[in-house]
Homo-oligomer: A and B are copies of this chain.
Amino acid sequence: MSNWSARKWVLAARPIGKPKESDFRFETGSVAQPGDNELLLRTKFLSLEPYIRARMDEAKSYATSTAIGEVMFGRTISEVLVSNHPAYSVGDIVLAKAGWQTLSLSNGKDLRKLDPMIAPPTAFVGVLGIPGSAAYIGMRVIGQPKPGETVVVAAASGAVGSLVGQLARRAGARAVGIVGGAEKCAFIKDKLGFDEAVDHRAADFEQRLAAACPKGVDVYFENVGGAVWTAVWPLLNQFARVPVCGLVAQFGAPVPPGPDRVPATIRQILSKSLTIRGFIVDNYPELFPDFEREIGAGLKDGSIHQREDVVDGLENAPAAFMGMLEGRNFGKLLIRVAD
Protein backbone atom coordinates (compact mmCIF):
# COMPACT_ATOMS: atom_id res chain seq x y z
CA MET A 1 0.00 0.00 0.00
CA SER A 2 1.66 3.19 -1.10
CA ASN A 3 0.81 6.75 -1.93
CA TRP A 4 4.11 7.33 -3.62
CA SER A 5 4.81 6.92 -7.30
CA ALA A 6 8.47 6.95 -8.30
CA ARG A 7 10.49 6.87 -11.49
CA LYS A 8 13.87 5.25 -11.77
CA TRP A 9 16.59 4.07 -14.13
CA VAL A 10 17.64 0.41 -13.74
CA LEU A 11 20.55 -1.46 -15.27
CA ALA A 12 19.06 -3.29 -18.28
CA ALA A 13 22.22 -4.90 -19.64
CA ARG A 14 25.92 -4.94 -18.86
CA PRO A 15 27.67 -2.63 -21.32
CA ILE A 16 30.38 -3.89 -23.63
CA GLY A 17 32.80 -1.00 -23.62
CA LYS A 18 30.97 2.29 -23.78
CA PRO A 19 27.43 2.16 -22.36
CA LYS A 20 24.58 2.68 -24.81
CA GLU A 21 20.96 3.71 -24.29
CA SER A 22 19.66 0.15 -24.27
CA ASP A 23 21.84 -0.64 -21.25
CA PHE A 24 19.44 1.49 -19.17
CA ARG A 25 15.68 1.07 -18.67
CA PHE A 26 13.30 3.72 -17.30
CA GLU A 27 10.67 2.34 -14.94
CA THR A 28 7.78 3.74 -12.98
CA GLY A 29 6.69 2.11 -9.78
CA SER A 30 5.58 2.75 -6.27
CA VAL A 31 7.49 3.23 -3.05
CA ALA A 32 6.25 1.67 0.17
CA GLN A 33 5.38 3.79 3.19
CA PRO A 34 8.42 4.15 5.42
CA GLY A 35 8.30 1.89 8.49
CA ASP A 36 9.77 2.37 11.92
CA ASN A 37 13.11 4.13 11.82
CA GLU A 38 12.76 4.59 8.09
CA LEU A 39 12.72 7.70 5.95
CA LEU A 40 11.26 8.62 2.61
CA LEU A 41 13.68 10.72 0.58
CA ARG A 42 13.09 12.85 -2.48
CA THR A 43 16.06 13.19 -4.78
CA LYS A 44 16.95 16.78 -5.51
CA PHE A 45 20.25 16.24 -7.31
CA LEU A 46 21.85 13.07 -8.67
CA SER A 47 25.64 13.14 -8.90
CA LEU A 48 27.12 11.42 -11.95
CA GLU A 49 30.70 10.21 -11.73
CA PRO A 50 32.92 8.01 -13.86
CA TYR A 51 33.20 5.24 -11.26
CA ILE A 52 29.51 4.45 -11.76
CA ARG A 53 30.60 2.87 -15.03
CA ALA A 54 32.62 0.32 -13.02
CA ARG A 55 29.53 -0.73 -11.09
CA MET A 56 27.81 -1.64 -14.35
CA ASP A 57 30.36 -4.43 -14.83
CA GLU A 58 30.24 -7.82 -13.24
CA ALA A 59 34.02 -7.75 -13.04
CA LYS A 60 35.76 -7.47 -9.72
CA SER A 61 36.47 -3.84 -9.06
CA TYR A 62 37.20 -1.61 -6.11
CA ALA A 63 33.48 -0.93 -5.99
CA THR A 64 30.69 -3.45 -5.84
CA SER A 65 28.58 -4.31 -8.85
CA THR A 66 25.02 -3.28 -9.69
CA ALA A 67 22.73 -6.25 -10.50
CA ILE A 68 20.73 -6.41 -13.73
CA GLY A 69 17.31 -4.87 -13.02
CA GLU A 70 18.61 -2.99 -9.99
CA VAL A 71 18.42 0.78 -9.78
CA MET A 72 21.54 2.50 -11.09
CA PHE A 73 23.96 3.53 -8.36
CA GLY A 74 24.51 7.16 -7.56
CA ARG A 75 25.09 9.62 -4.77
CA THR A 76 22.31 12.12 -4.30
CA ILE A 77 21.39 15.30 -2.52
CA SER A 78 18.00 14.38 -1.09
CA GLU A 79 15.30 15.99 1.01
CA VAL A 80 13.52 14.21 3.84
CA LEU A 81 9.81 13.93 2.89
CA VAL A 82 8.72 11.58 5.67
CA SER A 83 10.73 10.66 8.74
CA ASN A 84 10.12 7.88 11.25
CA HIS A 85 13.75 8.16 12.29
CA PRO A 86 14.74 10.12 15.41
CA ALA A 87 17.84 11.64 13.85
CA TYR A 88 16.12 13.26 10.85
CA SER A 89 13.29 15.76 10.40
CA VAL A 90 11.11 16.56 7.43
CA GLY A 91 12.88 19.10 5.28
CA ASP A 92 16.41 18.03 6.22
CA ILE A 93 18.81 17.98 3.30
CA VAL A 94 20.94 14.85 3.31
CA LEU A 95 23.72 13.29 1.31
CA ALA A 96 22.49 9.82 0.31
CA LYS A 97 23.22 6.95 -2.03
CA ALA A 98 19.68 6.89 -3.36
CA GLY A 99 20.63 6.11 -6.95
CA TRP A 100 18.98 7.16 -10.21
CA GLN A 101 15.44 7.56 -8.89
CA THR A 102 13.03 10.23 -7.79
CA LEU A 103 12.07 8.76 -4.42
CA SER A 104 13.71 6.25 -2.13
CA LEU A 105 13.39 4.65 1.24
CA SER A 106 16.25 4.77 3.72
CA ASN A 107 16.94 3.21 7.10
CA GLY A 108 19.05 6.22 8.03
CA LYS A 109 22.35 4.44 7.50
CA ASP A 110 24.66 5.85 4.86
CA LEU A 111 22.98 9.23 5.23
CA ARG A 112 24.62 12.44 6.23
CA LYS A 113 22.77 15.58 7.19
CA LEU A 114 24.19 18.58 5.34
CA ASP A 115 24.68 22.00 6.86
CA PRO A 116 23.89 24.62 4.22
CA MET A 117 25.90 27.13 6.27
CA ILE A 118 29.12 25.27 5.39
CA ALA A 119 28.57 25.15 1.64
CA PRO A 120 25.83 24.71 -0.95
CA PRO A 121 24.59 21.09 -0.68
CA THR A 122 25.81 20.14 -4.16
CA ALA A 123 29.39 20.89 -3.08
CA PHE A 124 29.18 17.71 -1.00
CA VAL A 125 29.12 15.55 -4.13
CA GLY A 126 31.77 17.69 -5.80
CA VAL A 127 34.66 19.64 -4.45
CA LEU A 128 33.64 18.82 -0.83
CA GLY A 129 32.67 15.23 -1.69
CA ILE A 130 34.31 12.10 -3.03
CA PRO A 131 35.84 13.80 -6.10
CA GLY A 132 37.26 16.61 -4.00
CA SER A 133 38.57 14.17 -1.42
CA ALA A 134 40.31 12.21 -4.17
CA ALA A 135 42.11 15.35 -5.28
CA TYR A 136 42.94 16.35 -1.71
CA ILE A 137 44.15 12.96 -0.51
CA GLY A 138 46.06 12.18 -3.70
CA MET A 139 47.87 15.49 -3.51
CA ARG A 140 48.49 15.43 0.21
CA VAL A 141 49.57 11.80 0.60
CA ILE A 142 51.28 11.09 -2.73
CA GLY A 143 51.59 14.21 -4.88
CA GLN A 144 53.03 16.53 -2.23
CA PRO A 145 53.72 19.45 -4.58
CA LYS A 146 56.46 21.88 -3.59
CA PRO A 147 56.89 25.52 -4.57
CA GLY A 148 58.13 25.84 -8.12
CA GLU A 149 57.30 22.27 -9.09
CA THR A 150 55.05 21.44 -12.02
CA VAL A 151 51.80 19.52 -11.52
CA VAL A 152 49.91 18.05 -14.48
CA VAL A 153 46.31 16.86 -14.33
CA ALA A 154 43.90 15.78 -17.04
CA ALA A 155 40.14 16.38 -17.03
CA ALA A 156 41.18 19.63 -15.41
CA SER A 157 37.76 21.28 -15.60
CA GLY A 158 36.12 18.34 -13.81
CA ALA A 159 35.44 17.81 -10.13
CA VAL A 160 38.73 16.07 -9.37
CA GLY A 161 41.06 17.83 -11.78
CA SER A 162 39.89 21.34 -10.98
CA LEU A 163 40.72 20.87 -7.30
CA VAL A 164 44.06 19.21 -8.11
CA GLY A 165 45.08 22.33 -10.01
CA GLN A 166 43.87 24.69 -7.32
CA LEU A 167 45.70 22.71 -4.63
CA ALA A 168 48.86 22.80 -6.75
CA ARG A 169 48.61 26.58 -6.97
CA ARG A 170 48.03 26.83 -3.22
CA ALA A 171 51.24 24.91 -2.68
CA GLY A 172 53.13 27.35 -4.88
CA ALA A 173 53.48 24.90 -7.75
CA ARG A 174 52.75 25.46 -11.44
CA ALA A 175 49.45 23.90 -12.49
CA VAL A 176 49.14 22.54 -16.04
CA GLY A 177 45.69 21.29 -16.97
CA ILE A 178 44.67 19.07 -19.87
CA VAL A 179 41.16 19.60 -21.22
CA GLY A 180 39.22 19.24 -24.45
CA GLY A 181 38.45 22.39 -26.38
CA ALA A 182 39.18 26.09 -26.25
CA GLU A 183 36.33 26.95 -23.92
CA LYS A 184 37.60 24.65 -21.19
CA CYS A 185 41.17 25.87 -21.75
CA ALA A 186 40.05 29.43 -21.13
CA PHE A 187 38.00 28.41 -18.11
CA ILE A 188 40.75 26.64 -16.21
CA LYS A 189 43.19 29.49 -16.77
CA ASP A 190 40.82 32.39 -16.18
CA LYS A 191 38.57 30.99 -13.46
CA LEU A 192 40.66 28.31 -11.74
CA GLY A 193 44.06 29.96 -12.02
CA PHE A 194 45.88 27.18 -13.88
CA ASP A 195 49.18 28.42 -15.31
CA GLU A 196 48.80 26.52 -18.56
CA ALA A 197 46.01 24.72 -20.38
CA VAL A 198 46.66 22.11 -23.06
CA ASP A 199 43.94 20.91 -25.43
CA HIS A 200 44.15 17.13 -25.80
CA ARG A 201 42.28 17.36 -29.08
CA ALA A 202 45.17 19.18 -30.74
CA ALA A 203 47.05 17.11 -33.30
CA ASP A 204 50.34 18.15 -31.71
CA PHE A 205 49.13 17.49 -28.16
CA GLU A 206 52.37 15.86 -27.01
CA GLN A 207 54.46 18.78 -28.23
CA ARG A 208 52.10 21.27 -26.62
CA LEU A 209 52.22 19.45 -23.31
CA ALA A 210 56.02 19.41 -23.39
CA ALA A 211 56.05 23.13 -24.19
CA ALA A 212 53.72 23.79 -21.25
CA CYS A 213 56.13 21.97 -18.93
CA PRO A 214 59.56 23.45 -19.74
CA LYS A 215 60.95 22.27 -16.40
CA GLY A 216 59.42 18.79 -16.68
CA VAL A 217 56.68 17.25 -14.56
CA ASP A 218 57.01 16.62 -10.83
CA VAL A 219 53.48 15.42 -10.12
CA TYR A 220 51.21 13.76 -12.63
CA PHE A 221 47.83 13.26 -11.02
CA GLU A 222 46.47 10.32 -13.02
CA ASN A 223 42.69 10.42 -13.12
CA VAL A 224 41.78 9.53 -16.68
CA GLY A 225 43.91 6.74 -18.09
CA GLY A 226 44.36 6.60 -21.80
CA ALA A 227 46.79 8.43 -24.00
CA VAL A 228 47.83 11.14 -21.54
CA TRP A 229 50.17 8.72 -19.78
CA THR A 230 52.19 8.26 -22.93
CA ALA A 231 52.63 12.01 -23.33
CA VAL A 232 53.48 12.64 -19.69
CA TRP A 233 55.88 9.75 -19.20
CA PRO A 234 58.97 11.21 -20.93
CA LEU A 235 58.44 14.53 -19.14
CA LEU A 236 58.60 13.11 -15.61
CA ASN A 237 61.40 14.55 -13.49
CA GLN A 238 63.63 12.88 -10.96
CA PHE A 239 61.52 11.99 -7.88
CA ALA A 240 58.23 12.57 -9.73
CA ARG A 241 55.08 11.27 -8.04
CA VAL A 242 52.12 9.76 -9.86
CA PRO A 243 48.99 9.37 -7.71
CA VAL A 244 46.66 7.02 -9.60
CA CYS A 245 43.06 7.95 -9.00
CA GLY A 246 39.94 7.75 -11.18
CA LEU A 247 39.74 6.18 -14.53
CA VAL A 248 37.46 7.96 -16.99
CA ALA A 249 39.09 6.70 -20.15
CA GLN A 250 39.30 3.04 -19.36
CA PHE A 251 35.84 2.56 -17.93
CA GLY A 252 34.65 3.12 -21.48
CA ALA A 253 36.43 0.00 -22.69
CA PRO A 254 36.07 -3.64 -21.65
CA VAL A 255 39.70 -4.50 -22.36
CA PRO A 256 42.06 -1.64 -21.64
CA PRO A 257 43.74 -0.59 -24.89
CA GLY A 258 47.46 -0.02 -25.26
CA PRO A 259 47.76 3.36 -23.60
CA ASP A 260 46.05 2.12 -20.46
CA ARG A 261 49.18 0.10 -19.87
CA VAL A 262 51.62 2.11 -17.81
CA PRO A 263 54.41 3.05 -20.21
CA ALA A 264 56.87 2.53 -17.39
CA THR A 265 60.02 0.55 -17.60
CA ILE A 266 61.68 -0.39 -14.36
CA ARG A 267 64.84 1.26 -15.70
CA GLN A 268 63.04 4.60 -15.75
CA ILE A 269 61.29 4.02 -12.42
CA LEU A 270 64.70 3.40 -10.89
CA SER A 271 66.78 5.98 -12.72
CA LYS A 272 64.26 8.72 -11.95
CA SER A 273 63.26 7.38 -8.50
CA LEU A 274 59.62 7.56 -9.53
CA THR A 275 56.66 6.81 -7.29
CA ILE A 276 53.52 5.41 -8.91
CA ARG A 277 50.81 4.75 -6.38
CA GLY A 278 47.15 3.86 -6.55
CA PHE A 279 44.84 4.97 -3.78
CA ILE A 280 41.19 4.90 -2.73
CA VAL A 281 39.84 7.69 -0.59
CA ASP A 282 38.02 5.23 1.68
CA ASN A 283 41.38 4.22 3.09
CA TYR A 284 42.17 7.68 4.47
CA PRO A 285 39.26 8.51 6.80
CA GLU A 286 41.66 10.30 9.15
CA LEU A 287 42.21 13.01 6.52
CA PHE A 288 38.54 13.89 5.97
CA PRO A 289 38.29 16.43 8.79
CA ASP A 290 41.28 18.37 7.40
CA PHE A 291 39.87 18.08 3.91
CA GLU A 292 36.46 19.46 4.81
CA ARG A 293 37.90 22.23 6.94
CA GLU A 294 40.43 23.42 4.35
CA ILE A 295 38.27 23.12 1.26
CA GLY A 296 35.15 24.34 3.06
CA ALA A 297 37.04 27.47 4.11
CA GLY A 298 38.30 27.92 0.55
CA LEU A 299 34.77 27.74 -0.81
CA LYS A 300 33.59 30.27 1.75
CA ASP A 301 36.37 32.78 1.15
CA GLY A 302 36.13 32.36 -2.60
CA SER A 303 39.62 30.97 -3.08
CA ILE A 304 38.35 27.56 -4.23
CA HIS A 305 36.06 27.36 -7.24
CA GLN A 306 33.89 24.62 -8.63
CA ARG A 307 31.96 24.70 -11.84
CA GLU A 308 28.76 22.65 -11.96
CA ASP A 309 27.18 21.31 -15.12
CA VAL A 310 23.50 20.85 -14.23
CA VAL A 311 21.21 18.83 -16.51
CA ASP A 312 17.50 19.07 -15.80
CA GLY A 313 15.35 15.96 -15.49
CA LEU A 314 16.05 12.39 -14.39
CA GLU A 315 15.01 11.19 -17.84
CA ASN A 316 18.23 12.72 -19.22
CA ALA A 317 20.57 10.88 -16.83
CA PRO A 318 21.81 8.14 -19.23
CA ALA A 319 22.61 10.59 -22.02
CA ALA A 320 24.40 12.92 -19.61
CA PHE A 321 26.31 9.99 -18.12
CA MET A 322 27.41 8.68 -21.53
CA GLY A 323 28.43 12.21 -22.51
CA MET A 324 30.52 12.53 -19.37
CA LEU A 325 32.45 9.37 -20.22
CA GLU A 326 33.39 11.10 -23.46
CA GLY A 327 34.30 14.35 -21.72
CA ARG A 328 31.27 16.29 -22.94
CA ASN A 329 30.33 17.69 -19.53
CA PHE A 330 31.85 20.98 -18.45
CA GLY A 331 32.26 20.94 -14.69
CA LYS A 332 30.87 18.68 -11.99
CA LEU A 333 27.93 16.85 -13.61
CA LEU A 334 24.61 16.92 -11.72
CA ILE A 335 21.10 15.90 -12.68
CA ARG A 336 18.47 18.17 -11.18
CA VAL A 337 15.74 15.65 -10.31
CA ALA A 338 13.45 17.91 -8.28
CA ASP A 339 13.55 21.51 -7.14
Contacts and interface: CB of A to CB of B under 8 A. Distances in A.
B267 A264 contact: no
A273 B260 CA distance: 16
Contact of A62 (B260, B270, B277): B270
Nearest to A142: B275
Given A276-B276, A278-B273, A267 B250 contact: yes
A125 B287 CA distance: 43
A1 interface: no
A278 B283 contact: no
Contacts of A245: 270
A271 interface: yes
B256 A244 contact: no
A260 B271 contact: no
Interface residues of A, number: 32
Interface string A226-270: 000100000000000000111100100000100011101111011
Chain copies in complex: 2
Nearest to A250: B267
A185 interface: no
A278 B256 CA distance: 25
A78 B266 CA distance: 34
Interface of A: 60-62, 222, 225, 229, 244-247, 250, 256, 260-262, 264-267, 269-280, 283
15 contacts: A62-B270, A62-B273, A229-B266, A244-B270, A245-B270, A247-B267, A247-B270, A262-B269, A270-B279, A272-B278, A273-B279, A273-B280, A273-B283, A274-B278, A275-B277
Given A244-B266, A274-B277, 11 more contacts: A61-B271, A246-B270, A250-B266, A262-B262, A262-B265, A264-B264, A269-B278, A270-B280, A272-B278, A274-B276, A274-B278
5 interchain residue pairs of minimum CB distance: A269-B278, A270-B278, A262-B264, A275-B277, A276-B276
